[in-house]
Amino acid sequence: MSQQPRLRRFVHAAAMPALDAALVLTAFMLAYVFRYDLQIIRPVLEFNRADFEPYLPYAVVYILWLFINYHGLGLYKPIRGRSWLDEVYSIINGVTNATVVTLALSFFLQPLVFSRLMMIYVAGITIVLLALARAIERIARARLRKQGIGVQRVMVVGAGDVGKSVLRALLARRDFGYLPVAYVDENPDEASADIGRVLGLGGLDNLTEKMRQHRVDSVILALSWSNHDQMVRLMRLCQHEQIDVSIIPDVFQLNLRQVQVENLDGIPLLHMNGHIPLKGTNRLFKRAVDLGLTVMTAPVWAPIFALVALAVWLEGGGAVFYSAERVGEHGKPFRMYKFRSMIPGADQMRDQLTRAVGEDPRRPKFKDDPRITRVGRFIRRTSLDELPNLLNVLTGQMSLVGPRPPTPDEVMLYEPWHMQRLAIKPGMTGLWQVSGRSEIPFDEMCLLDIYYIENWSIGLDAQILMMTIPRVLMRQGAL
């Protein structure tokens, strides 16, 4: 078993409490300077002056109360997926309680000199320092994970709807620190094919050897609970190999956004609300955002649009724009527009080139494509060739964010589950583009697109748009 999970637990259980204690003591010292030396807000009369040492016992109480509070709130547990704002909320909660306790203690002890204003300073500084420490820790952890440090190699047991949902989430949320490396199933045929870079290792036979061979750190069980004995056996197997194991109950084959948890006098009820993110007002809101952003940013993209059109025309004359049939929402065909980046007759050479290089015909990508012109190579590397997609956005055929539109020939090669990515309007950018663009295999791209559809929110759209800008500027993954 990898030592990474143990190291992560040590950091949260020991290192973070020690760091918090040091930061709280720092907050007390800074608050003392603000109150007695700088005398911010109110001056300090001479007979009210005090040394720092009498505040040390209060600092110890403050630190101990925070530790107890944060331990109870789970702040020192390595919970993946917990947002920074959730941590800040817990920090504020603990600081508020510790401040009240300290003020109450001073009321009962009645010290000769005690500044309540200083304790307000302590509270504010503590919140800032602890929140900043968590932000820095997250940045450092993200950079380490990009280098493969602190990443758990995961095997998913189950290839049904639940297992596919797990794979989608793992691939879409790399910030959780999970790397799906393989999946297996009770039925070997269901897990016989690789899904992108996730290996299909067949059935549950020789599972120990498979986990060792692929250096698995964590296993997620996504099987039906009808086979209770099988689940228990797998759990014991993972525990014997000292591999972290997580279990997903049957109800999770329902999208959690469709489940509302209610309480009936202590009895949990799972209420199905049929929530579909991109329907009704959400669909109208997404359309309004598409139109608003496209029109408001026109002064930026319109001059670039004109310059690219001129460059394409000057290179060889002829057509400036390239239009081709694409498959949109619910399989409806439409004409998608781009700047021409290839020589005439490039479409007729596509099938021959695909066979020659052995690319996936459902989403072929060719390095050093001989059909691309000099200007075309530049505008493709910078994604400027896709600017005319904005015309499709204005006409309502595309959205700014969504799955990339496939060709009819590509759709004919789809398996049934691939068709889920056609459930909404295609987009100029999407989750798979900001996750790796052309480096991502087709099956992984579909999993990311389906995850986006199932988990859409305006915040997710904003995040994808903001991540697209640096990736385009740095030319990551473009061909």
Both 181 and 133 in a single domain?
no
C-beta of residue 154 within 8 angstroms of C-beta of residue 179: yes
Both 101 and 190 in a single domain?
no
Task: Flag whether 217 is in a domain.
Answer: yes
Cα–Cα distance between 250 and 247 in angstroms, integer? 10
Positions of E strands within 340-402: 399-401
Cα dihedral sign, 356-362-367-370: positive
pLDDT > 50? residue 1: no
C-beta of residue 339 within 8 angstroms of C-beta of residue 379: yes
Q: pLDDT for 400-411, tens place per residue?
A: 999 999 999 889
Task: Flag whether 41 is in a domain.
Answer: yes
> 3-state class of 427 per DSSP?
strand
Cα–Cα distance between 195 and 198 in angstroms, integer? 5
* DSSP symbols for 66-82: HHHHHHHHTTTS--TT-
Both 346 and 446 in a single domain?
yes
Task: Flag whether 226 is in a domain.
Answer: yes
Q: Which domain holds residue 62?
A: 4-146
Both 53 and 29 in a single domain?
yes
Task: Flag whether 328 is in a domain.
Answer: yes
Q: Tokens 């800008």 map to which residue?
A: 469
Task: Flag whether 91 is in a domain.
Answer: yes
Q: Cβ contacts of residue 419 below 8 Å, gap of 6+?
A: 331, 411
Using CB atoms within 10 A of its CB, is residue 194 exposed (0-12), middle (13-18) or buried (19+)? middle
Q: pLDDT for 123-182, tens place per residue?
A: 999 999 999 999 998 888 888 887 777 788 999 998 888 888 888 888 888 778 889 999
**What amino acid occupies position 194?**
D
Both 318 and 466 in a single domain?
yes
pTM: 0.63
Can you give the pLDDT at residue 362? 64
Record the tokens describing residue 193, joined without a space.
């094919």
Q: pLDDT for 419-448, tens place per residue?
A: 989 999 999 999 888 876 556 788 888 888
pLDDT > 90? residue 81: no
- Candidates 290, 473, 310, 301; CA nearest to 392 is 290
Both 303 and 328 in a single domain?
yes
Answer with the one of 102, 128, 146 that is the final residue of a domain: 146
> Which of residues 385 and 83 earns the better pLDDT score?
385
Both 161 and 136 in a single domain?
no
Q: pLDDT for 367-387, tens place per residue?
A: 667 778 888 889 988 889 999
* DSSP symbols for 234-273: HHHHHHHTT-EEEE--GGGGS-GGGEEEEEETTEEEEEE-
Can you give the pLDDT at residue 457? 86
Task: Flag whether 478 is in a domain.
Answer: no
Alpha-carbon dihedral 11, 13, 18, 24, rounded to 10 degrees: 110
Both 373 and 232 in a single domain?
no
C-beta of residue 359 within 8 angstroms of C-beta of residue 378: no
Q: How many domains does the chain have?
A: 3
Task: Flag whether 298 is in a domain.
Answer: yes
Both 160 and 230 in a single domain?
yes
Both 303 and 245 in a single domain?
no
Both 446 and 299 in a single domain?
yes
Record the tokens describing residue 53, joined without a space.
């040492």
Alpha-carbon dihedral 396, 400, 403, 406, rounded to 10 degrees: 60
Answer with the one of 95, 124, 146 that is the final residue of a domain: 146
Both 358 and 431 in a single domain?
yes
Task: Flag whether 452 is in a domain.
Answer: yes
C-beta of residue 365 within 8 angstroms of C-beta of residue 456: no
Mean predicted confidence (pLDDT) in 294-311: 93
Longest CA pairwise span in the chain (Å): 92
Q: pLDDT for 117-139, tens place per residue?
A: 888 999 999 999 999 999 998 88
Answer with the one of 115, 131, 146 that is the final residue of a domain: 146
Beta partners for 200?
Answer: 183
